[in-house]
Chains A and B, each alone.
Chain A
Amino acid sequence: MAHKVGVVVFPGSNCDRDAFNAFGSVMNQKVEFLWHKETSLDGVDVVVLPGGFSYGDYLRSGAIARFSPIMNEVVRFAERGGLVMGICNGFQVLVECGLLPGALLRNAKLKFVCRQVYLRAETTKTPFTSALKPGQILKVPIAHGDGNYYADEATLKSLEEEDRIVFRYSTRDGEITSEANPNGSIRNIAGIVNKSRNVLGMMPHPERASEQILGSASGAMVLKSVIESLN
Chain B
Amino acid sequence: MYKVIIKVTLKKKILDPQGKAIESSLHNLGFSNLTGVRTGKNIEIAINEKDIGRAKTSIQSACEKLLANPVTEEFEYEIFDNDGTAVARFSTLHTQTKEPVG
Measured CB to CB, the residues of A under 8 A from B are 59-60, 63-64, 67, 95-96, 101-103, 105-110, 150-152, 184
Contact = CB atoms under 8 A, between A and B. Distances in A.
B18 A96 contact: no
Interface of B is mostly: mixed
B72 A103 contact: yes
Interface residues of B, number: 11
A150 B72 contact: yes
B71 interface: yes
Contacts of A105: 10, 14, 72
Contacts, number: 32
B18 A63 contact: no
Contacts of A95: 71
A103 B67 CA distance: 15
A64 to B, nearest CB: 8
A110 B16 CA distance: 10
B101 interface: no
B17 interface: yes
Interface in B69-96: 69, 71-72
